[in-house]
Every structure is written in C-alpha cells, then in structure tokens.
Amino acid sequence: MKIANIRCRDLTGTMEFSGDFWEERLARPIDIYPEHRMEGPAYLQRLGENTYRMRSVFLEVHTDAGITGLSGPISGSVARSIMSEFEDLLLGENPLAVELLWDKMYRLAVHGRKGNTMMAISALDCAFWDIRGKWANAPVYTLLGGPTRDRIRAYASMLGFAVDAERAAERAREYAGRGYTAQKWFFRAGPGDGPEGIARNVALVEAVREAIGPDADLMLDCWMSWDLSYARRMAPRIAPYNPRWIEEPALPDQYDVCAEIRRIVPFPVANGEHEYTRWGFAQLLDAGAQDVLQPDIYWAGGITEITKICTLASICGVEVIPHGHSSHATAHLIAAQPPHLCPIQEYLVKWNTVHQFFLKHKIEPVDGYIALPEWPGLGLEIDEDLVEEEAILD
C-alpha cells in the first residue's frame, strides 16, 4: 500500500444554537497589555440570532488500496504546512510505517520542531494511524495494545462559559447533574487585573466548589497567564477549595518558573498543553515542573509520539491526561494506556462541539464516561450532509 494523494478539505456549514455560544473567554498571556485585556470572546462568526458559521479543515490521506485516513480539524496554516513541507516527501510511501514516516518528517523539518510544522506532523501521523486501523479492520486502541478498560472517565472542561460566581455555580450544578464527577474552570482575570481580579478568581473557585460538592474533582486553568508572584498571591486563597490541579501557571518555556510554582503551591500542578515532542516533555520532567502532563495529540507529535511521552511519564510516576481538542485520537490513546497513567479524558464542552460538528460519529460522554469507540481506525467520518461549501487547500 502506498500514499497516492494528500488533500486538505476546508468545509463550511451552519450550526443552530440558541443564544450566545461563547459566553466568556479565558485569561491569556497577552492580557498583561490593557488593550488586549478588554477583548471579548470571538471564536465563531454569528450569522443570526440562533445560527453560527462553522468552518473546519480536515486532512485526508488517500492510498492506492482505496483506504483513506482522516485527521482533524486542523488550522489553515497547519494545512499549508502539510502541503508545502511534506506532500512530496510522503507520496509513494507506505502509510503503515508510522515510525519511519514520523522520523523522516521530523528530520526533514529541522526548523519545525514546534509550532505549525509539528502540528502538521501530528495530523499526518494520526491520519496514518486511521489508515492502519481501517487496514486491520480494528480500532486504533487495539493496535496500540489495548483496551485497558471498557470506558473512560471524562471531566467537563468549561471553557467558554460565564465565570461570574452565580452563573458559574449554575452551570457547575448542571454538569454535575449530567454525571460528571470532575470539572475544569478557566480564570478570566490575571496579574494585570489587580486585587479585584484576584477576588473575582477566588469567587469563581468558591462558587464552583460549593456547587459540585467536596468530593468532586475541581481543576483550574491559568492558561499561561500567571507568573511566580501571582501564583504566590493566588495559591493560599484557593487552597482551601482543594483543587485537583492548577494548569499551565506560566509560559511553557519557563521550566524553572513552573517548577518553582509547583514547589510553593500546596496542590498539584499540570503542564504541557503547549509543549511539543518527547524532548520538550523530557525538559518538563527533568525540571520537576508538573504532577500531570497534558500533551495534545494533534500538536505534540501525534499518536506515535504521545505513546513515547507516556513512557517517559510512567518512568517518573507522572500522570498523562492529554489536552482535549482531539476527542477521537485521545480516546484511542487513553484506552491503550494503563488506567493509573491515563485516568481521565478532558471533554471540552464547547470546543468539542465545534470540532466534531462535521463528524458523523461523535464522541460525547454519557453520565460522565466515554464509551470506547468501536469503529475501525479512529472512527472519523465526515457527515457530507452538513457540508454547505468546500474548498481544497494547497
């Protein structure tokens, strides 16, 4: 079997949703500048009162055996990297040889060890694994050595919901009622918002903890917007609410700062959503910067690379709970790893709605658990009835 064609499909459709889909955004590193701190959420184009413009790019890898691997959604810039940097390298290659292809792509892209180029490698790798599963007529987790369980516990990741105390508590109770025993909430205020911002952040944590009860897991995402001084101020204020972890308290290249934050805060620290490859994660582990690693499969190197990161983490006794953008690939990866190493899957309530809009088979938790996918490969298939317009990117 050989790779015969690679294409990226830019799909457009319309989603019906009553009200504001994005209620709020998270704090960002750039928010230290006042002109950016005031910006609101603007992730989707609103067409009417109850309709939104949906646009997603999916990668297709076609083979001469009639098997097509699907991956995505990805960004337009990642699609351009795929076509400009890797198409010539991959045409005519055996898509089942994932280790060989990963190494060739990595060695070709010497200036792309992180960022869009590594995301392109990640998407291609996942498409190759989709081909492998379809070729073997088996779910990918079977080829990875699983399953290690019959379902995966999920946590509701609440990015995009309002974070004022009253509305957050209402949403937290709602999702607890849906069977989620763990939730993650996102701070809107950061160091530039002063004491009032700290008060708002603490009020959010207090309200959500009260809403979900003392036994549920509560995670808190800083999204790289804190610094060491801010962590020192925030930690004693939120510690009484027993967070399972705070996430990405500092910029990912600040390994020593992340490690110092982990040392001074009285609860676990998660890191790695914006890190890449086994080499980047080895630096995090060497620094002692986290209790939980969070590689994104579509960013950090694909399934082939994340399995290596899991091995590194297992040596160090650190959990791996991947970032939740790629629900299908993540479920297959987790299902093939020991439950104590990968105990739970992130379900980004709003982003997974967006990313799975064009997919026929969606991964959605029921009563707080994800059933293992049973379709061959990754289980990705475009619902062509939802595609209103299409362009092929080159």
Tell me which residues are annotated as active site: 323
φ/ψ (deg, to 5) at 371: -75, 145
80 sits in which H/E element: helix 76-81
- Which residues are paired to 157 by β-bridges? 184, 348
Cβ-defined contacts of 165-172 (< 8 Å, 24+)? 165/203, 165/204, 165/206, 165/207, 166/207, 167/23, 168/204, 168/207, 168/208, 168/211, 169/207, 169/208, 169/210, 169/211, 170/211, 172/207, 172/208, 172/211, 172/212
Query: Residue 309 is encoded by which pair of tokens?
Result: 């990161």
DSSP 289: -
φ/ψ (deg, to 5) at 182: -150, 140
Query: Residue 217 is encoded by which pair of tokens?
Result: 């897991």
Radius of gyration of the chain (CA): 21
Q: Residue 167: which residues within 8 A CB-CB, separation 6 or more?
A: 23, 161
3 sits in which H/E element: strand 3-16
Q: How far apart are CA 187 and CA 198, in angstroms?
A: 10
DSSP characters over 12-67: EEEEE-SS-S-------GGGGSHHHHT-----SEEEETTEEEEEEEEEEEEETTS-
Q: Is 38 exposed, middle or buried (0-12, 13-18, 19+ CB in 10 A)?
A: exposed
